[in-house]
Amino acid sequence: MKKLNGLFAALLLVFGLLAACGTNAEPKKEDTNKEPVSEQANEANEESFPVTIKDAADKDVVIKKKPEKIVSLIPSNTEIVYALGEGNTIVGVSERDNYPEEVADKEKVAGMELNIEKIISLEPDLVLAHASTATMWEAGLKQLEDSNVTVLVVNDSQSFDEVYTSIEMVGKATGNTAEADQLIQDMKSKLDEMKKQGESISAEEQKSVFVEVSPAPEIYATGQNTFMNEMLDVINAKNAVSEEGWVQLNEEAVIKLNPDVFVITYNFEKNASDKVLKRAGWQDITAIKEKQVHEVNEDLVSRPGPRIVEGVEELAKAIYPDVFGK
């Protein structure tokens, strides 16, 4: 995604751009069954190794044993690991990592550049890299591999299905395939619920939405066949931009589009919504006249990880508060 990569560079200025119990008539038998459940699961996870995974760099990565120490180089990977219940294995993260709160105490090993020495000093069993930065950090990742550190490049997701692929990959790499499957199923169920809610919105009620991902003077918006467009589709909102990909537009073009709702996804500019409302010549745009300009949490709508569902919920409540705000 051309613009997403460009946005990652902009983000890097900020970044540097990321179980069971019960009883029955035979308590003795039930107790002996239930108590070791987690142990049995752990043993099963251990027995699944070694595993070979074809990563996003088209390499067959062999992971010999269940990782006990993981370094994650991008927030989305970190969030997946935590969602799979393996947060305690994380020993190093990027400077942009901020979720969950526990990552604040982790070693910071990646910003504009990789801190190779620090990564190696942490003695990780696995480094989770990402396709969006793999080229930029190619030399550093090669140095890690040459130092016998296992590096897995996770795919750069551009759709919900590709996010599920990322979760499956990390689940397999950490020995949590069942947990990954359950997480994916939970995400799909929540998205299906929102899609059904969106189906109650008639064609006359459907709103056109302009999603600004980069502010003036170089305005960029999300177009068709993008992750954000898929999010809008889920809640039955219409993307005001008909071009594909991440599109640069001048202010005149936005005026002609005349969106019903204006969504801002960047959080690095203070009072962004006020600045949009005050842009010269935009006073007749429906979204401006009706003050339908909303800032959403950039992390939720841009990180291809488990919290994308929360991102869709935030978009839904901003665009259709009467339908999804209940």
- Indicate whether 45 pLDDT > 90: no
Percent of the chain with pLDDT over 70: 85
**Mean pLDDT computed over 241-267:** 96
The number of domains in the chain is 2
Per residue in 67-119, pLDDT (tens digit) is 999 999 999 999 999 999 999 999 999 999 999 999 999 999 999 999 999 99
Of 186, 219, 235, the domain-final residue: 186
Same domain for 239 and 125:
no
Beta bridge partners of 285: none
Rounded to the nearest angstrom, the gap between the alpha carbon of residue 315 and the centroid of all alpha carbons in its chain is 15
pLDDT mean across residues, the chain: 88
Residue 299 is assigned to a structural domain of this protein: yes
Tell me: do 69 and 146 sit in the same domain.
yes
Answer whether residue 35 is part of any domain: no
Q: Are residues 223 and 262 in the same domain?
A: yes
Reading the block at residue 154, the tokens are: 């996770």
Domain that residue 124 falls in: 43-186
Q: What is the pLDDT of residues 220-235, one digit of tens each?
A: 999 999 999 999 999 9
Residues facing residue 106 across a β-bridge: none
* In a shared domain, residues 179 and 123: yes
Q: Which of 18-27, 68-77, 115-124 is the least confident region?
A: 18-27
pLDDT tens digit string along 163-222?
A: 999 999 999 999 999 999 999 999 999 999 999 999 999 999 999 999 999 999 999 999
pLDDT of residue 247: 96
Q: Which residue has the tokens 């809610």?
A: 197
pLDDT at 43: 54
Distances (CA, A) of 117 to 41, 63, 123, 126, 151: 35, 22, 10, 15, 15
- Residue whose C-alpha is closest to residue 109's, from 128, 125, 95: 95
DSSP string spanning 167-229? Answer: HHHHHHHHT-HHHHHHHHHHHHHHHHHHHHHHTTS-TTT--EEEEEEE-TTSEEEE-BSSHHH
Please report the pLDDT score of residue 94 as a whole number: 97
**298 pLDDT above the threshold of 60:** yes
Domain assignment present for residue 7? The answer is no
The three-state secondary structure class of 31 is helix
Query: What CATH number has the domain bearing residue 312?
Result: 3.40.50.1980
217 plus 137 within the same structural domain = no
Q: How buried is 25 (Cβ within 10 angstroms: 0-12 exposed, 13-18 middle, 19+ buried)?
A: exposed
CA 13 to chain centre: 19
Confidence at 47, pLDDT banded by 50, 70, 90 = low
Q: Are strands 51-54 and 60-63 parallel, antiparallel or unpaired?
A: antiparallel
Spell out the SS3 assignment of 60-109. Answer: EEEECCCCCCEEECCHHHHHHHHHCCCHHHEEEEECCCCCCHHHHHCEEE
* Last residue within a domain, chosen from 186, 212, 232: 186
pLDDT of 9 > 90? The answer is no
Residues 180 and 210 in one domain: no
Q: How confident is the model at residue 23 (pLDDT cuts 50, 70, 90)?
A: very low
Q: What is the pLDDT of residues 256-266, one digit of tens each?
A: 999 999 999 99
Q: Cβ(155)–Cβ(131) under 8 Å?
A: yes
Determine the straight-line distance between the first and last CA of the chain, rounded to whole angstroms: 34
How far is the CA of 164 from the CAs of 81, 183, 213, in angstroms?
Answer: 13, 9, 24
Let me know whether 170 and 304 are in one domain.
Answer: no
Is residue 284 domain-resident?
yes
Q: In Å, how far are 103, 240, 318 from 206, measured between CA atoms?
A: 40, 11, 13
Same-domain pairing of 86 and 166: yes
In a domain, 22, yes or no: no
Mean pLDDT confidence for 143-151? 97
For residue 46, the model assigns a pLDDT of: 63
On whether residue 194 sits in a domain, the answer given is: no
Considering the domain architecture, whether residues 182 and 207 belong to the same structural domain is answered as no
